[in-house]
Structure 1
Amino acid sequence: MDSDRFNVDELKHILRDGSSAAKIDWGNEEHRRCVVACMVKGAYVLESDRATMDRREELAPAWWESFGFHLENELREQKPPIFETIYGAIFKYAPCPRTPPHPRAPRYVVAFRGTMRKHPEWSVATQDIYLDFKILTNKLKKRTRSKLAYAAVDKLMDGEAGLGGDDVWLAGHSLGASLALDVGRDMMERRELNLPTFLFNPPQVSLTAAMNLLNAQDVAKRHLHFTSYLFKAGAATVSGRHQKRMEKLFDRLSPWVPNLYLHEKDWICQGFIDYFELRQRFVDRFPCVASKFMTLSYRDMLWRLLGKVKERPHLLPSAMLWKTAQSSLNAHGLQQWWKPNAELGLGAGTRYSYPVPQA
Structure 2
Amino acid sequence: MASSRDFDHADCFDNSGPVHMMAKNGAGSPRTVVDWGKEEHRRCVAACLVKGVYIIENDSTRRRVHTNALAPPWWENFGFNLLDVIRDDSDHDDQFIIGAIYEHVPPLGEPAHPLSPHYVVAFRGTMISHPKALIDLYLDAKIMVNTLKESKRSRLANTAVKKLVATIDKGMGGACGHGTAGSCIVWLAGHSLGASLALDVGRAMMVEQGYNLPTFLFNPPQVSPTPAIDVLLPIEKAQKAKRDIYAVSYFVKAGLGKVLNPHKERMENLFKRLSPWAPELYVHERDVICKGYIDYFEQRQQVQERFRAVATSAMTLSYRDMFFSMFGMEKEQPHLLPSARLWKSTSKDEDAHALQQWWKPMGEQSLSVRRYSYPL
Q: Secondary structure at the match of 1:351?
A: strand
Q: CA deviation at 1:207?
A: 2.0
Q: Flag the 1:350–1:21 CA change in 2: closer, same or farther, 3 A.
A: farther
Residue 21 of structure 2 contacts residue 32 of structure 2 at CA under 8 Å; is this kept in 1? no
Q: Which residue of 1 aligns with 2:181?
A: none
Q: Which residue of 2 aligns with 1:50?
A: 60
| Residue 157 (1) aligns with residue 153 (2) | no
Residue 250 of structure 2 contacts residue 310 of structure 2 at CA under 8 Å; is this kept in 1? no
1:11-31 CA distance string (max 9 Å, x none): 232232233746211010000
Cα separation, 1, equivalents of 2:265 and 2:82: 43
Cα separation, 1, equivalents of 2:222 and 2:367: 21
Q: Secondary structure at the match of 2:159?
A: helix
Q: Which residue of 2 aligns with 1:77?
A: 88
Q: Which residue of 2 aligns with 1:135?
A: 143
Give the percent of matched residue pairs that are identical in Structure 1 and Structure 2. Answer: 53
1:306-334 CA distance string (max 9 Å, x none): 33221100100000000111142310000
Cα separation, 1, equivalents of 2:14 and 2:313: 48
| Residue 207 (1) aligns with residue 207 (2) | no
Cα separation, 1, equivalents of 2:154 and 2:143: 11
| Residue 6 (1) aligns with residue 13 (2) | yes
Cα separation, 1, equivalents of 2:311 and 2:109: 52
Of the candidates 334, 345, 351, which is equivalent to residue 324 of structure 1? 345
Cα separation, 1, equivalents of 2:16 and 2:167: 37
Q: Which residue of 1 aligns with 2:245?
A: 224
Q: Which residue of 2 aligns with 1:24?
A: 34
Of the candidates 106, 113, 121, which is equivalent to residue 95 of structure 1? 106
Q: CA deviation at 1:125?
A: 0.6
Q: Secondary structure at the match of 2:190?
A: strand
Q: CA deviation at 1:292?
A: 1.2
Q: Secondary structure at the match of 1:60?
A: coil
Cα separation, 1, equivalents of 2:134 and 2:145: 17
Cα separation, 1, equivalents of 2:254 and 2:41: 41
Which structure 2 segments of 5+ residues have no match?
A: 1-6, 177-183
Q: Which residue of 2 aligns with 1:352?
A: 372
Q: Which residue of 1 aligns with 2:179?
A: none
Cα separation, 1, equivalents of 2:261 and 2:16: 56
Cα separation, 1, equivalents of 2:215 and 2:259: 35
Letter in 2 for 1:136: M
Q: CA deviation at 1:231?
A: 1.0
Q: Flag the 1:10–1:91 CA change in 2: closer, same or farther, 3 A.
A: closer
Cα separation, 1, equivalents of 2:32 and 2:148: 38
1:72-120 CA distance string (max 9 Å, x none): 000011134442010000000012213332121100010000000101x
Residue 346 of structure 2 contacts residue 367 of structure 2 at CA under 8 Å; is this kept in 1? no
Q: What is the TM-score normalised by the length of structure 2? A: 0.90
Letter in 2 for 1:100: P
Residue 327 of structure 1 contacts residue 336 of structure 1 at CA under 8 Å; is this kept in 2? no
Letter in 2 for 1:103: P
Q: CA deviation at 1:9?
A: 7.6
Q: What is the TM-score normalised by the length of structure 1? A: 0.94
| Residue 196 (1) aligns with residue 196 (2) | no
Letter in 2 for 1:135: I
Indicate the larger mover: 72-81 or 3-12: 3-12
Cα separation, 2, equivalents of 1:10 and 1:92: 20
Residue 33 of structure 2 contacts residue 78 of structure 2 at CA under 8 Å; is this kept in 1? no
Cα separation, 2, equivalents of 1:81 and 1:158: 28
Letter in 2 for 1:98: G
Q: Flag the 1:212–1:125 CA change in 2: closer, same or farther, 3 A.
A: same
